[in-house]
Amino acid sequence: MNRTRIRGAAFVAVATLGLTACASSSSGEPAAAPAAPAVTDPVTVTYEGGIYVLDGSSLKVGHTVALDGFNRVNPAGNDTSVFVSTTDGFRVLDAVAGKMTDIAYPGAKPGHVVRHGDRTILFTDGTGEVNSFDPAGLADGKPQGRQYKAAVPHHGVAVELTDGTLIVTLGTEESRSGAIALDKNGTEIARSEECPGVHGEAVAQGEVVALGCENGVLLFSKGAFTKVKSDLDYSRIGNQAGSEASPVLLGDYKIDPDAEREAPTQFSLIDTAAKSLKVVPMPSGVSYSFRSLGRGPNGEALILGTDGKLHVTDPATGTLTASWPVVGAWTEPIDWQQPRPALFVRGSVAYVTEPATKKVHQVDLATGAVKGSVTLDAVPNEISGTVPGH
């Protein structure tokens, strides 16, 4: 689908002798405040009390959006917008203009935002509602789209494929067991309840969907579910990262069911073609968090380690190919909402937060060089940005 790339033009303020911030117009009325300049390729960073919008190239703070509460940010699927998960539901931030819009999907506990193809799919945990739509329509207001409601509200996720197949998790507030697949007319065509604790999703090359389980992963391909089990009774893969450039998915790998906050020292590579799972160790003494996973432009597996390095792995072999220093060493906090270094990848650039120094860094994924950094006034927490759909 063709989309018009929207780029922010630079605005130049010309100072005139005698002109002040309190200048009045010839009518005697105060002059209107100049509009905030648009931001190019926005990167959004949450902090306690709001959201910073950075220019994707210069890292200059273009906008500061005040917004109380713990807010999360995800790409909306176009060049201008970011979804913000608030206490009242999903809201749309026009990141280029630095303004919250009137577009909202109300509901308690807004959860996963999934982008796939020309669809963006929202799952609201508190209501079980699924909204799927073409994000290009956000330019004209709230787009018309497909709606579905899970039988029981739960912390879930949904993915819509190019043929209209909708994959939705199964669960309750107490437990989650698997997923179902519905055709474009809403008729159930497949079901699996072999995925205890189902959480998270990723799509691999060939439009193979993976859902994480507490004992492996659940794959969906060509109209059917397939369970890929791990070698352990408990091995939670709750966060995954996919790439259209690779049939192999990157996942975390936690093995302690009793840990209050496990610091994983291994990760998983799920080969969706071979339907196999490989467990790979991190470098000695290094762990990572759920905000550490990403994929490079050629499908490279990226993990931001607690040693402060961005570790690059060949997904086909599991071989570590590079470890690039980016931030200082860090420890994951127990509270998942508290800041820790976080990774956001867009094209050939990685953006990494460093809460200890209030910085955001820009990393060239071709060389591993830190191309630039910015120091913020507040501690950065989550990071995301605009990412156009396909």
* Residue 389 confidence (pLDDT): 72
- Three-class SS of residue 139? helix
* pLDDT, tens digit (0-9, with 9 covering 90-100), for 154-163: 999 999 999 9
What does the pLDDT average to over 6-10? 37
Query: Per-residue confidence at 38, pLDDT binned at 50, 70, 90?
Result: confident
**What's the number of CA atoms in the CB half-sphere (13 Å) around residue 306?**
18
Structure tokens at 326: 């980016």
Per the rule left: phi > 0, alpha: psi between -120 and 50, beta: everything else, 246 is: beta
Mean pLDDT of 319-337: 97
Place of tokens 């086909």: 316
How far is Cα 140 from Cα 80, in angstroms, rounded to an integer? 12
Report the percent of the chain where pLDDT is more than 90: 89
- pLDDT of 36 reads 65
Q: Is 45 exposed, middle or buried (0-12, 13-18, 19+ CB in 10 A)?
A: buried
CA 148 to CA 151: how far, in whole Å? 10
Mean of pLDDT values over 122-134: 98
pLDDT score at 35: 60
Is the confidence at residue 256, as pLDDT, over 70? yes
Question: Per-residue pLDDT averaged across 104-126, rounded?
Answer: 97
What is the reported pTM?
0.90
Q: Give the phi and the psi of residue 31 in degrees, each rounded to 5.
A: -70, 145
Query: What is the mean pLDDT of the segment spanning 290-294?
Result: 98
pLDDT value for 34: 56
Check pLDDT > 70 for residue 26.
no
The more confidently predicted of residues 5 and 345 is 345
Q: What's the whole-number mean pLDDT along residues 221-236?
A: 96
> What does the pLDDT read at residue 390?
59
